[in-house]
């Protein structure tokens, strides 16, 4: 089991503010877990009493809408932390986290993290900045959902997927979402999403091959997204 002070992913999150002693303390109390693709890390309404540090892999944060459809709120990648907000607000998590691929995560108990929060000013500032950044993203997303058409949102999401998670050697998006997941991300019915993807394909903006999506004309997609 790797020690936190030798783990490179700590540099990507609030944990980068911790000193060597604190990192050694973290190593002693954390537990490492392998999460298989499709497995749930935590469910909406659960008390998780700590935070998860994503060492490898990607998961989706989802919210169940009244009609029973999963809405993807955010995708979380290697180096990010899960559960910071519910830990600070002392509330159950309001989203579910599900692995999109095999993952390695470390769980750090709340009692330890709150100790760092009290003693390490930079760490607490980093956590607050992350939560503020999430709030800003949430505001932007809400405005986008209210003011942009589904077509604009799909173009925006495809660009986000390529810019954030990259593409494979064959040019396809690294993140392979099902049509249902993609529709849950842009907030529309699966049929509408499939129809729009087909339109984008016919226009030569993207290329479809099974679940794979290749973005062929980023500039035109950006124009649509704007």
Q: pLDDT for 60-90, tens place per residue? A: 999 887 777 788 888 999 999 999 889 888 8
pLDDT (mean) for 81-102 = 91
DSSP β-bridge partners for residue 172: 214
Is the pLDDT assigned to residue 5 strictly greater than 80?
yes
**Residue 153: which pLDDT band, with cuts at 50, 70 and 90?**
very high
Model pLDDT, residue 54: 95
Domains of the chain, first to last: 4-145 (2.60.120.10), 148-225 (1.10.10.10)
Bridge partners of 64? 70
Task: Decide if 59 contacts 20 (C-beta within 8 A).
Answer: no
Residue 52: partners with Cβ closer than 8 Å, 6 or more residues away: 41, 42, 81, 82, 83, 97, 105, 106, 107, 108
- Do 86 and 94 contact (CB within 8 A), yes or no? yes
Angle (nearest 5°) at CA 201 between 142 and 196: 35
121-to-18, 125, 161, 181, 215 alpha-carbon distances in Å: 10, 6, 34, 39, 43
Q: For residue range 157-170, list pLDDT tens digits in order.
A: 999 999 999 999 99
Average pLDDT of the segment spanning 190-199: 94
Q: Which of 8, 53, 21 is nearest to 120 (CA)?
A: 21
What's residue 1's pLDDT?
58
């Amino acid at each position: 089991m790797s020690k936190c002070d030798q783990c490179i992913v700590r540099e990507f999150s609030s944990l980068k503010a911790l000193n060597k002693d604190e990192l050694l303390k973290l190593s002693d109390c954390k537990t490492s877990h392998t999460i298989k693709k499709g497995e749930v890390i935590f469910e909406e309404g659960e008390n998780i009493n700590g935070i998860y540090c994503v060492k490898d892999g990607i998961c989706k944060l989802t919210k169940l809408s009244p009609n029973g459809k999963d809405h993807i709120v955010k995708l979380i990648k290697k180096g990010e932390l899960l559960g910071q907000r519910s830990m600070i607000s002392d509330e159950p998590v309001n989203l579910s986290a599900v692995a999109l691929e095999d993952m390695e995560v470390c769980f750090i108990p709340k009692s330890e993290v709150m100790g760092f929060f009290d003693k390490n000013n930079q760490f607490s500032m980093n956590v607050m900045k992350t939560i503020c950044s999430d709030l800003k993203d949430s505001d932007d997303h809400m405005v986008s959902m209210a003011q942009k058409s589904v077509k604009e949102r799909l173009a925006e999401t495809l660009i986000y997927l390529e810019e954030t998670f990259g593409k494979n050697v064959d040019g396809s998006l690294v993140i392979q979402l099902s049509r249902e997941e993609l529709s849950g991300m842009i907030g529309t019915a699966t049929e509408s999403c499939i129809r729009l993807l087909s339109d984008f394909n016919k226009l030569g903006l993207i290329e479809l091959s099974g679940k794979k999506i290749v973005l062929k004309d980023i500039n035109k997609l950006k124009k649509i997204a704007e």
